Amino acid sequence: MKLKPTLIAVVLSALAAHPASAEFQRQPRVSGIETYGYKWNPSDQDMNKALAYKANAKKGRATYKICKGCHQADGSGLADASYPQLAGQHASVIIKQMMDIRAGRRDNPRMYPFSGEWIVSAEEIADIAAYLNQLPPPAGNGKGDGANLALGKHLYDQDCASCHGKNGEGDAKKFYPMVAHQHFAYLKRETRESRDQGRRNTNPDMVKVLKNYSDADVAAVSDYLSRLTLPKK
């Protein structure tokens, strides 16, 4: 894990300011898709607060210092899938994923210490999300080997475009992520984990379409998506 000294200082001061600092490191775990009766995107007080708040991208730019040691200053993440690209992502999606991580609906032990209210309030998360949403798509991103793009496009158009959009643009109102121009390795991992129900906050209707996907199918569709470009902001 690559952490900048300033980031470490921010976290240490937040930990020191909080009485129960030992608890920070351990992410809670609430039931997810592995549980019978799972409901995707349950009502979440913190999320409602962040969504209702009138976000300020300029303030978000400053608060993003907590995140940029991992997700990079331009929101590009890393191609090796260790950190997803966040630049250009829908604010609603960033807010939902953040609240899922903080509530323990999406496992992310590495990020958990940077996600709780001891370090960012719901309003600050909304500010960061507004800031990230208006960042231009980073120039480069990780792509696959290009060997099965026709299959990837076929699968995407048939099974995924109805939710994620014709060009992978997602749908902010429905919390469907933008998947175009994301890093290949991250797309592949998240798609595979969703299929295998390892991404516990995943959408059950998406799991249904993925059920019969081989790893090669997942790689083909991920490669196709990593090459889609988004309109310039």
Contact residue for ligand HEC among 33, 94, 130, 219 (CB under 6 A)? 94
**If binding is defined by CB under 6 A, does position 120 make contact with ligand HEC?**
yes
Buried b (16+ CB within 10 A) or exposed e, 57-67: bebbbebbebb
Distance CA 213, CA 193 (A): 12
Spatial contact of 152 and 223, defined as CB atoms under 8 Å apart: yes
Distance CA 158, CA 148 (A): 16
- Token couple for 193: 């984990």
Contact residue for ligand HEC among 133, 141, 148, 191 (CB under 6 A)? 191
Distance CA 66, CA 6 (A): 9
**If binding is defined by CB under 6 A, does position 130 make contact with ligand HEC?**
no
**If binding is defined by CB under 6 A, does position 221 make contact with ligand HEC?**
yes
**If binding is defined by CB under 6 A, does position 185 make contact with ligand HEC?**
no
- Token couple for 226: 């990593």
Largest Cα separation within the chain, whole Å, is: 55
Beta-carbon contacts of 175 under 8 Å, excluding residues fewer than 6 positions away, are: 41, 90, 92, 93, 96
**If binding is defined by CB under 6 A, does position 200 make contact with ligand HEC?**
no
**If binding is defined by CB under 6 A, does position 112 make contact with ligand HEC?**
no
- Token couple for 33: 């898709």
Q: Which residue has the tokens 């009138």?
A: 54
**If binding is defined by CB under 6 A, does position 209 make contact with ligand HEC?**
yes
Contact residue for ligand HEC among 50, 57, 126, 160 (CB under 6 A)? 160
Give the residue with the Cβ less far from ligand HEC, 1 or 22: 1
**If binding is defined by CB under 6 A, does position 70 make contact with ligand HEC?**
yes
**If binding is defined by CB under 6 A, does position 162 make contact with ligand HEC?**
yes
- Token couple for 231: 């309109």
**If binding is defined by CB under 6 A, does position 87 make contact with ligand HEC?**
no
Beta-carbon contacts of 166 under 8 Å, excluding residues fewer than 6 positions away, are: none
CB of 54 to ligand HEC, least distance (A): 18
**If binding is defined by CB under 6 A, does position 203 make contact with ligand HEC?**
yes
Residue range at the interface with ligand HEC (CB under 6 A); choices 27-35, 42-50, 142-150, 199-207: 199-207
Provide the binding-site residues for ligand HEC, judged by CB under 6 A. 1, 66-67, 69-71, 82-84, 86, 94, 96-98, 108, 110-111, 114, 120, 128, 155, 159-160, 162-164, 175-177, 179, 187, 190-191, 201-203, 205-206, 209-210, 221
